[in-house]
Amino acid sequence: MRRILALAFCCLVSLNSLALEPFTISDIRIEGLQRMSDGTVFNYLPIDKGDVLTVANSRAAIRELYGTGFFDDISFSREGSILVITVSERPAISTISLAGNKALKDEDMLSVLADIGLAEGEVFSPQALDRIKQEMVQQYFSQGRYAVKVDTRVTELDRNRVRIAIVIDEGKTAEIRHINIVGNTLFTDEEIRSEFESGIPPKWKFWSKDDQYTREKLSGDLEKIRSYYQDRGYVDASVESTQVSISPDKREIFITANVTEGEQFAVSEVQVTGELVLAESSVRQLIVSKPGETFSRKRMEQSVENITSVLSNIGYAFANVNPIPQIDRENREVSLNFYIDPGKRVYVRRVEFTGNITSKDEVIRREMRQFEGAWFSQAAIDRSKLRLQRLTYFESVEIETPPVPGTDDQVDVIVNVEERPAGSFSIGLGFSEIQGLIYSLSVQQDNFLGSGNRVGIGLSSSDIVSSINVSYDDPYWTDEGISRGFYARYQEFDQGAANISTFTSSEAAAGVSIGAPLSELDFVRLGLGVRSTDINIGQFVFEFDTIIDPTMDPNDPNNRVCQDFDMDGICPESYYRVSPQDPLSTSLDFNNDGLLDASEREFDVVDLTLTWSRDSRNHFLNPTQGSLQRVSVEASLPGSTREYWKLFYRYAKYIPIWRDLTFSFHGDVGYGDSYDDYDATSLAEPIDTTIPITFAGTCLQEEVIDLDRGLPFFEHFYGGGVKDIRGFDDNTLGPKDPFCRSVGGDLKVSGGIELAIPTPFTTGGGSRIALFIDVGNVYRDIDAFDSNLLRAAAGISVTWQAPVGPIIMNFARPLKELEGDRTESIQFSFGTTF
């Protein structure tokens, strides 16, 4: 109708031209222009000076000018031999503003507007604005927003300009209230709907968008109904019709799908035809559809994927495997013919990198397992991507393999990376239940000058730990992947504040390490370190204002040491020094005098560490598949103050189970012992009963020990904490002294399972929510292991990788706790030491 009216209007305008007698044009004058130049009109005008103006060419000229879309009105008139063209320009668009749109981004909407000529500086067309309004409504309808309202406002400005405002009330997305399957007798509605992307989520899953209706989701779900049946042999199953009903308020959706199930079919035979570059027997091993089995579309497609994958790994990048099912409905059988067209064998011409602003090309290239000039291999491409994803300085990695123009046997490999900030300079403030308030100053660069080397300098201070450290690690010291690293640190640690027995320590250490890859997954590292540790044992005393140096009481018949004397020179009974203070101080009292000499507080250790690891995880931060296995042996070399060894083993497995859900389990074992001739039993003394009972806690008597054995106590394993056996206070599990203070042990066993679920309201891999069950404990030694003493807890863990460090919150409930256990229902850690 609009076109008819426009043509009629053009005819009416042309009447003025028809009234003109033909004449030769001596000149052409344009009137009515405001923004446009005469030259622009002349560019579109099909007549010129010297032409004879007739009815025919005047009509053609008018149509041509109207066709530009620049004018609302055009008329021809004559002044002598001069042709006068009078026009009325359409206004130009000054600005376009959008308001109320959240589901559709501004840049996407403005791009669509520009495609149809609605952009700043363009000529305004009311028809185009009406059209885009309807398209917006349809776009929102496709997203299930049936209550959407789009209002367009055009404001006239000076100099023949307009301002366009598009105001959108998106409304709420219509929610699915019921999905009804009709015609299904073989499977229940619940079984069929289990594969759907659409659905009605449980109330606890408040962030889910499964119940938000969109046409695309419905279309995909209907195809899943067909696939569900065909995967179980029902070849002719189909969705005959679908009804979608909308409530009057346009907020609720009711879906009904009518299903025809058909008969179940079996596989009668499997053939392999086409050009076979592999032995037929090898191809048949890749086919999982077998004669006599129920036909399965999924198994047929898996067979195609298996064959294609093997061909793509030996250079046939464009291989095509076409499964041709021949259906015998009379006998309810399907004959499968896999027709193979491998195409030409392809090699890689060039490997190029994009997006690496900081990282040097060689840093990416050394991780590549697909090489220039080699046959194309999809497995090598996938492995290269996995290695790059596990680096800490890439946010995302995408690899494309476009064919080389003009060839049919060459491809280029284009690696596009998005870098994440690899360096940080931070002055941090954090809090941890174990460390208290944390102050830190750190500079770390995981990709130093784009070389892939890691350099770090850090200072930190908290209630229990103060440290300074420097480190350097070169993962590719040689082109063969030999790594080299150095570190140096100084640390002061108050074990008493960390729920460990009453001693403080200061430690200076330095070391070097060398690592080498054994395979794509295996890595071995050898480290040599030197440590000097100074131990200061605390005492059991009452609180008093001043503590002077302990002195032997001359009035005491037992020659006990007094912490302080009153004004009369008398030592109160409670001020006598406990000898020994605890089993740990006993183990340091080499000369058995009840006191710790300076030489008995200093330990110089040279240790050697050997670590083997196998890592197939797909991401360094939040893996969703793969596994990690690590074995580490640490031993102090002969001649050290204490000679001992420690063994660590860790295994973790990550399994994607459904959509964004990842199941994982892990187990950790640590064990150590001494190999010197030190014997703690020869130095053991009974605990002094003069210690007031108010100082003693309560704990499980089976875990109480009265002397130190095996490992030096400052090398003991401890259990419990926000990052360990969750639900229990930090370092509180395991052996206790007679006053129920944790003293650690030579054996630690822990493990757990987790179910990582999608994090609501976030994108990317920087956050994580997991349901967990943790199990574990610490034992005096391997002979003391008792499964009945294992502790267990379950809960929810929330982790966010914030710029200042990981923020961790655990909500836990003990499943098994024993007498004296210190449990925590909420554990929190913010920030981290360097």
| Domain positions in the chain | 2-89, 92-169, 175-260, 266-341, 347-419, 424-537+600-830
pLDDT at residue 800 in the model: 76
pLDDT at residue 610 in the model: 97
Does the pLDDT of residue 273 top 80, yes or no?
yes
Of 24-38, 144-158, 488-502, 734-748, which range is least confident?
488-502
Mean residue pLDDT across the chain: 81
| Residue 646: band (very low, low, confident or very high) from pLDDT cuts 50, 70, 90 | very high
619 near 640, Cβ under 8 Å?
no
pLDDT tens, 523-558?
A: 999 999 999 888 765 443 333 333 344 566 677 765
pLDDT at residue 518 in the model: 93
Distance of alpha carbon 464 from alpha carbon 461, whole angstroms: 8
Backbone φ/ψ region at 634: left (φ over 0), alpha (ψ -120 to 50), beta: beta
Count how many residues are written for the chain: 834
pLDDT at residue 581 in the model: 41
Q: Which CATH number fits domain 92-169: 3.10.20.310, 3.50.50.60, 3.30.2310.20, 3.40.50.880?
A: 3.10.20.310
89 near 65, Cβ under 8 Å?
no
Of 213-217, 715-719, 786-790, which range is least confident?
213-217
| Residue 468: band (very low, low, confident or very high) from pLDDT cuts 50, 70, 90 | confident
pLDDT at residue 575 in the model: 55
pLDDT at residue 216 in the model: 82
Domain 175-260 of CATH type 3.10.20.310: yes
State the Cα angle at 285 between 283 and 286, rounded to 5°: 65
| Residue 244: band (very low, low, confident or very high) from pLDDT cuts 50, 70, 90 | confident
Neighbours of 338 (CB within 10 A): 22
Cβ burial of 153 (10 Å; 0-12, 13-18, 19+) is: exposed
pLDDT at residue 463 in the model: 62
Higher pLDDT residue, 759 or 574?
759
Domains 2-89 and 347-419 share a fold: yes
Residue ranges of E strands in 7-70: 23-24, 27-31, 52-53
pLDDT tens, 88-138?
A: 888 888 898 889 888 888 888 888 888 777 888 888 888 888 888 888 888
Q: Which CATH number fits domain 2-89: 2.60.210.10, 3.10.20.310, 3.40.50.1950, 1.20.1090.10?
A: 3.10.20.310
| Residue 439: band (very low, low, confident or very high) from pLDDT cuts 50, 70, 90 | low
Does the pLDDT of residue 594 top 50, yes or no?
no
Give the mean model confidence (pLDDT) for residues 750-774. 81
Higher pLDDT residue, 761 or 822?
822
What are the φ/ψ torsions at residue 146 (nearest 5 degrees)? -80, -10
Give the mean model confidence (pLDDT) for residues 242-266. 89
What are the φ/ψ torsions at residue 107 (nearest 5 degrees)? -65, -35
Centroid of chain to Cα 115: 36
Query: In the CATH hierarchy, which top-level class contains the domain 424-537+600-830?
Result: mainly beta
Q: Which CATH architecture has domain 347-419?
A: Roll (3.10)
Backbone φ/ψ region at 30: left (φ over 0), alpha (ψ -120 to 50), beta: beta
| Residue 751: band (very low, low, confident or very high) from pLDDT cuts 50, 70, 90 | very high
Report which secondary-structure segment, H or E, holds 358.
none
Does the pLDDT of residue 600 top 50, yes or no?
no
Cα–Cα nearest to 637, from 531, 533, 723, 709 = 531
pLDDT at residue 368 in the model: 94
Cα–Cα nearest to 503, from 742, 822, 729, 684 = 742
SS3 of 490, please? strand
Cα–Cα nearest to 513, from 472, 573, 478 = 472
Give the mean model confidence (pLDDT) for residues 589-599. 42
The single-letter code of the amino acid at 8 is: A
CATH superfamily of this structure's domain 266-341: membrane protein fhac (3.10.20.310)
399 near 413, Cβ under 8 Å?
yes
571 near 681, Cβ under 8 Å?
no
Pairing outcome for strands 333-341 and 805-816 = unpaired
353 forms bridges with which residues in the sheet?
Answer: 415
Does the pLDDT of residue 497 top 50, yes or no?
no
pLDDT at residue 495 in the model: 53
Cα–Cα nearest to 658, from 217, 210, 139 = 210
Higher pLDDT residue, 560 or 313?
313
The single-letter code of the amino acid at 154 is: V
DSSP type of residue 360: -
Does the pLDDT of residue 20 top 60, yes or no?
no
Does the pLDDT of residue 486 top 90, yes or no?
yes
156 forms bridges with which residues in the sheet?
Answer: 162
pLDDT at residue 678 in the model: 58
Does the pLDDT of residue 637 top 70, yes or no?
yes
pLDDT tens, 662-710?
A: 999 999 999 999 887 654 443 333 333 333 444 445 677 778 776 666 8
Pairing outcome for strands 252-260 and 175-182 = parallel
